[in-house]
Structure 1
Amino acid sequence: MPAIVLREGQTVFDAEYAVQPRQPDEIPVRVITAGICETDLQLIRGYMGFQGVLGHEFVGIAEAGRYAGQRVVGEINCSCGECEACHGGRGNHCPHRTVLGILDHDGAFADVVYVPEGNLHPVPRQISDDAAVFVEPLAAAFQIPAQVDLSWLKRATVLGDGRLGNLCAQVLRLQGCDVEVIGKHVEKLALIDALGIRTRMLKDVTLAPTADLVVDCTGSESGLETAMKLIRPRGTIVLKTTTAAPDSPNLAPLVIDEVTLVGSRCGPFPAAIEALAAGQVRVTPLISGRFPLSEGVEALRQAIERPHLKVLLDVN
């Protein structure tokens, strides 16, 4: 079947790619629309050494199981269900897991993606296909309040004006934080301004330790270093950035200022779905390009080379 495949650092359109389920409980989901994520671009650069079908943000129609015939979205971590982590409710950190389109598991840039039934969530009628594609990254934004007590971290700075920075800013505002987004792109910051969230260009910011909470959504190896200059003593930095680059800053200031550093990844799908259904978060203004699956290689190239926010692939 048609798929966008990553092979040895090169993306290709394979019209006859053979996708097979990895486990007996996996459900075939016919993909309607999928979204290109910064992680996909990092995978192309060598992150995780992935080979196979890319894509982990999607909405589709379940073709079997309890949700057969319904629109669904899917959590990306496919855990074993048998180890200590899984029995302890930490399936996202199962040492035997595969990850859709990221680790040893073909993803959603294809006609069909196979997903464990327990990973699937039905999509309410009031959420459009385009909005449903954002459930996975929006859930990642909701992981911040799931991990961090925000009751005393009221002054929040989000670094990065891309799609994840935008979503994190909206979620933090829902939690009652006073949010500012710092970025490098006038047109992307304008979308955040339109939401009533304060923004500033990075070049205009004096890097001083005034924020209670800093969330790094830059997608850049320099993001943590900038965050360290903005966080006050005993504040909290949340890292959302993963890159293929190995360099890291001097971490001694984190020790000296007793800063809490939180790695933050996948999050709660029910919270994201509820927020979208209630209209509490705006996501469709982030869509800046769309292509048919057959032009997926070009879509990825444009996502890398042009200032896109969210590029969608229309599959079925």
Structure 2
Amino acid sequence: MKAILFDGQLKFLTDYPIPMPQADEALVRVRLAGICNTDLEIIKGYQGFRGVLGHEFVGIVEEVNGGDHQHLIGKRVVGEINCGCGLCDYCRTGLQRHCPSRHTLGIRGKDGALAEYLTLPVNNLFQVRQNIRDEEAVFAEPLAAAFEILDQVHIRPTDMILVLGDGKLGVLVALTLALSPAHVLLAGHHPDKLRVANDQGVATANASDLRAHKSYDIVVEATGSQGGLTVALQHVKPRGTVVLKSTLAVDAEMNLAPVVIDEIRLVGSRCGPFEPSLRALSEKIIRVGPLISGIFGFHRAADAFDMARAKNSLKVLLDFR
């Protein structure tokens, strides 16, 4: 099958073996897959992953290894990317995403979605409603990561929220948090990206114009940069909350004294719930189409990665249909 492999070098293969679904797994034929900043960080060394990249996808179930889920064959699905062991204390208490033995699609111990086929446990799959286009469904995973913040942080109507970073995730986070009654400001350096959020009613600002005064109850750091947390701490109120969304391949040193002195709550935030994400896509509450910078066939996969690396691009998709 066609697949994009990272084994220390990025390779575009046409003869990679089709994966075999294990017990209670499904074989999914990928239709569209997204290139995420995490994929770009893996190429730089993040997580030390070797294998097929990618974890954002929409596809069709072609085979199920197990008799209880044959009804999924032919269904269009997206998927939770973390595969827990199902036996440990974490898995038994609903923390499968933090299972010490977990495999994570395209990130940790499991070939990913930038290929014609992938496998996932059937319990990880979510059917996609007919009124959601492939080009929208492929956003289900990153949009779920944005919705995770609503589960983690109590947002009051009077809260002032600052989202730092106008990349793919930053824009999705701003659009998601804007569903709350709080005031949301998205700050970044790219007018075209900011416009995507502004066109859907989110207030935006050039990050260079922000004054470093501690005036925000909640700051979401989604810059993807090494200094993002330092900047976030310059804007959050004492006893406020900083949500960390960036994943980086580099180690970072910083002065944590402001966290202690101002009694800041730091919240790490990763993957999230698919149900509200798919509902938002189905009901068109959040319009993700404007975030698509380009769609490429496999024969132009190298061009797709070049575009994904460009500072002015948002979501780049690979088409396996």
Separation in structure 1 between the aligned mates of residue 244 and residue 252 of structure 2, nearest angstrom:
15
Write the mapping of 1:143-292 to structure 2, written as runs, cut at 5 A: 143-151=148-156, 154-292=159-297
Write the mapping of 1:1-316 to structure 2, written as runs, cut at 5 A: 1-8=1-8, 10-21=9-20, 23-64=22-63, 65-151=70-156, 154-316=159-321
Cα shift readout 1:258-285 (whole Å, capped 9, x = no counterpart): 1100000000000100111111111010
Separation in structure 2 between the aligned mates of residue 312 and residue 163 of structure 1, nearest angstrom:
12
Residue 212 of structure 2 aligns to a residue whose secondary structure is: coil
Look up the equivalent residue of 1:106 and give its one-letter code.
Answer: D
User: Which residue of 1 is the match for residue 67 of structure 2?
Assistant: none
Q: How many residues are paired up?
A: 315
Residue 178 of structure 2 aligns to a residue whose secondary structure is: helix
TM-score relative to the length of structure 1: 0.97
Structure 1's unaligned 5+ residue stretches are none
Separation in structure 1 between the aligned mates of residue 298 and residue 125 of structure 2, nearest angstrom:
22
1:162 Cα offset (Å): 1.2
CA contact (8 A) 1:109 1:293 kept: no
1:31 Cα offset (Å): 0.3
Separation in structure 1 between the aligned mates of residue 102 and residue 299 of structure 2, nearest angstrom:
30
CA contact (8 A) 2:192 2:312 kept: no
Identity between Structure 1 and Structure 2 (%):
48
Look up the equivalent residue of 1:195 and give its one-letter code.
Answer: Q
Separation in structure 1 between the aligned mates of residue 250 and residue 213 of structure 2, nearest angstrom:
26
Separation in structure 1 between the aligned mates of residue 302 and residue 271 of structure 2, nearest angstrom:
26
CA contact (8 A) 1:6 1:53 kept: yes
Look up the equivalent residue of 2:53 and give its one-letter code.
Answer: L
Cα shift readout 1:136-164 (whole Å, capped 9, x = no counterpart): 00000000011111126611000011111
1:90–1:127 CA distance, 2 compared to 1 (3 A): same
Separation in structure 2 between the aligned mates of residue 22 and residue 229 of structure 1, nearest angstrom:
48
Structure 2's unaligned 5+ residue stretches are 64-69
CA contact (8 A) 1:153 1:213 kept: no
Look up the equivalent residue of 1:272 and give its one-letter code.
Answer: S
Cα shift readout 1:261-313 (whole Å, capped 9, x = no counterpart): 00000000001001111111110100011111232233112211352100000
CA contact (8 A) 1:4 1:297 kept: no
Look up the equivalent residue of 2:188 and give its one-letter code.
Answer: G
TM-score relative to the length of structure 2: 0.96
Separation in structure 2 between the aligned mates of residue 310 and residue 247 of structure 1, nearest angstrom:
26
User: Which residue of 1 is the match for residue 66 of structure 2?
Assistant: none
Cα shift readout 1:225-268 (whole Å, capped 9, x = no counterpart): 10000000000000000100101321110111011000000000
CA contact (8 A) 1:208 1:230 kept: yes
Residue 176 of structure 1 aligns to a residue whose secondary structure is: coil
Cα shift readout 1:48-93 (whole Å, capped 9, x = no counterpart): 0111100100000011333110110011001111111000111010
Separation in structure 2 between the aligned mates of residue 267 and residue 298 of structure 1, nearest angstrom:
30
Separation in structure 2 between the aligned mates of residue 294 and residue 92 of structure 1, nearest angstrom:
34
CA contact (8 A) 1:36 1:55 kept: yes
1:278–1:201 CA distance, 2 compared to 1 (3 A): same
Separation in structure 2 between the aligned mates of residue 46 and residue 182 of structure 1, nearest angstrom:
28
CA contact (8 A) 2:19 2:27 kept: no
Separation in structure 2 between the aligned mates of residue 163 and residue 271 of structure 1, nearest angstrom:
18
Separation in structure 1 between the aligned mates of residue 78 and residue 158 of structure 2, nearest angstrom:
32
Residue 174 of structure 1 aligns to a residue whose secondary structure is: coil
Cα shift readout 1:175-216 (whole Å, capped 9, x = no counterpart): 212000110111111112211211111111111100000001
CA contact (8 A) 2:21 2:27 kept: no
CA contact (8 A) 1:2 1:111 kept: yes
Q: CA RMSD in A?
A: 1.2
